[in-house]
Structure 1
Amino acid sequence: MRKALALSLLAVLLGGCASEPAPRDISGVWINQGAIDEAAKGGNLREALLANGPNLEWDIDAKNAKANYTNGFEWVEGKLTPGHKGAWQVAVYGSSAIELDVQGAELVQAASDADPQQTFVRTPLKLSSDAPLGTNFEYALKAAYLGGQWRVISGLGQGNTVTFMPDGQVKGLPNNNAYALCMAGDCASMSGEYDSLWLQQDEIGAAHIFVRNGNRLEIFQALDSAKPDEMPQLYPGKQEWVLEKQPAM
């Protein structure tokens, strides 16, 4: 009788362990596709990122228990451990644990006191494995937000065809061969309510304010209202270019 009872208890315990699903392997790079899709509608860039963020990319290595993410201006390192019901927990120094779970083809970051729920998809890009954290999101964002061909309808180089490349090169915009979109951090603090980008020719560049409205992109000089000992506060000055996105062939 005692033997039968012991076997019965053992079966219950083993059954309970078996009922807890093992976490799925979530290793790889995941990007915030919702933020990219919202930005691709052609409105205010930072509003689109904030509405679907703040986190933009996860880089996860389950084998080595690492899970790092970026929100566009800082890289955060975390330790990955199995959680409950097939989920994972990411311990971040000085913060509460973050819960991650795979639901279908999406990686879901659970809502917390600090952040809303956010969803990510595996990056479709084939970048180098040593690409800095955030590069996959940045490339995908640039392709979605500024991809295709643009025509200069006002400003220097009127009539030119302009192409913004995902790697940060720009072709056809006079006196510029590189650009960078401001997503967060100091550049966002300096431009306040405005979207900004950096335009550069070789080693010389400057911040600019831009306004995107559907297929129309206006680029302005960035003027500074701050005092010399204050952080720059940028606002739009003279309009330098108006670009119009061309229909896809």
Structure 2
Amino acid sequence: MRYALALSLLAALLSGCASHANRDVNGVWINQNAIDAAAKGVNLRQALLANGPNFEWRVNVPAAQATFSNGFELGDGTLKADGDQWKVDFYGNYEESLTLDDDELIQAATESGQEQSFQRPKNPAPAGAPPGASFEQALYAAYLGGDWKIAEGPGEGAVVRFQSDGRIEGLPNTDRYALCLAGDCAAMSGEFDSLWLEQNKQGNPWIFVRQGDQLEILQAVNQAKADEMPDLHPGTRRWLLEKE
């Protein structure tokens, strides 16, 4: 009888430890649903909007801080435990609720946004990287990873590789790229996906169209007046890339 009681107490203790471990919200969490949707080879901004608005959370329980990134702005809030939830207060302006569901961090739905789920990144960005970097790195790898062959355009026949850290290999006169996720660049390109291409820190925006294993990169034509915010539309196609 005493032996059975001891086993029962030990099981309860181990169960409590496991439960505590599962409640560890510290660290980086990324919006894997948005990444998976984009990785199907569809319009990037539509995939992100459908699964947004937030792309990454950074939670620091000892410091009572939590930060979200949505692709163009950061929100720094004060973190506090509230039963099974964590409340993030943004200077009294509004509040977000976070809970753990197994291996997912759930951001509760509000009047201004849908419920979202976040997972720990398999390959987080290096220590010291800016907020949002882990999501961006995972998105770049999923959306543009692998080998792309230049089917049409300068460098035809060459293999292009988009690295997850923003480096690019094989595309003529280009050494870095950045996908437009949200913010001013999105406002300028409207319904069209856009990216930034540069060499030696000098570059320009381009419009791109992703359809499955094909990627078109087109010149971005500004239809705005000189005193207006740029209004970018697709122009002449420069490259057609096909995934190998």
Give the match for residue 173 of structure 2. Answer: 175
Give the match for residue 69 of structure 1. Answer: 68
Give the match for residue 49 of structure 2. Answer: 50
* CA distance in 1: counterparts of 2:239 and 2:79, whole angstroms: 47
* CA distance in 2: counterparts of 1:126 and 1:112, whole angstroms: 28
Give the match for residue 150 of structure 1. Answer: 148
- Structure 1 runs (4+) deviating above 6 angstroms are none
- Deviation of 1:93 after TM superposition, in Å, equals 2.2
- Deviation of 1:106 after TM superposition, in Å, equals 0.3
Tell me the alpha carbon deviations over residues 166-220 of structure 1, each in whole angstroms, 9 at most, x when there is no partner.
0101100011111000000000000000000000011210000000000000000
* CA distance in 2: counterparts of 1:126 and 1:68, whole angstroms: 16
Gaps of 5+ in 1: 1-20
- Deviation of 1:234 after TM superposition, in Å, equals 0.1
Tell me which amino acid in the other structure corresponds to 1:215.
D
SS at match of 1:97: strand
Tell me which amino acid in the other structure corresponds to 2:79.
L
- CA RMSD of superposed structures (Å): 1.3
Matched, 1:91 2:79: no
Aligned residue pairs: how many? 225
* CA distance in 2: counterparts of 1:221 and 1:156, whole angstroms: 13
Give the match for residue 212 of structure 1. Answer: 210
Aligned-residue sequence identity (percent) comes to 52
* CA distance in 2: counterparts of 1:56 and 1:38, whole angstroms: 13
Structure possessing the higher radius of gyration over alpha carbons: 1
Tell me the alpha carbon deviations over residues 4-46 of structure 1, each in whole angstroms, 9 at most, x when there is no partner.
xxxxxxxxxxxxxxxxx98922010000000000000000000
Paired residues for 1:213-228 under 5 Å:
213-228=211-226
Tell me which amino acid in the other structure corresponds to 1:97.
E
Moved more, 21-30 or 68-77: 21-30
Give the match for residue 104 of structure 1. Answer: 102
* CA distance in 2: counterparts of 1:227 and 1:93, whole angstroms: 39
Paired residues for 1:179-190 under 5 Å:
179-190=177-188
Give the match for residue 18 of structure 1. Answer: none
- Deviation of 1:132 after TM superposition, in Å, equals 0.3
SS at match of 1:229: coil
Give the match for residue 189 of structure 2. Answer: 191
Gaps of 5+ in 2: 1-18
Give the match for residue 17 of structure 1. Answer: none
- Deviation of 1:94 after TM superposition, in Å, equals 4.9
Give the match for residue 140 of structure 1. Answer: 138
* CA distance in 1: counterparts of 2:220 and 2:37, whole angstroms: 25
Tell me the alpha carbon deviations over residues 100-121 of structure 1, each in whole angstroms, 9 at most, x when there is no partner.
0000110000000121000000
- Deviation of 1:126 after TM superposition, in Å, equals 4.0
CA 32–126 in structure 1, closer or farther in 2 if over 3 Å, else same: closer
- Deviation of 1:237 after TM superposition, in Å, equals 0.7
Give the match for residue 38 of structure 1. Answer: 37
Give the match for residue 13 of structure 1. Answer: none
Matched, 1:128 2:126: yes
Tell me which amino acid in the other structure corresponds to 2:177.
Y
Q: Kindly indicate whether the alpha-carbon contact (under 8 Å) linking 2:68 and 2:75 is maintained by their aligned counterparts in 1.
A: yes
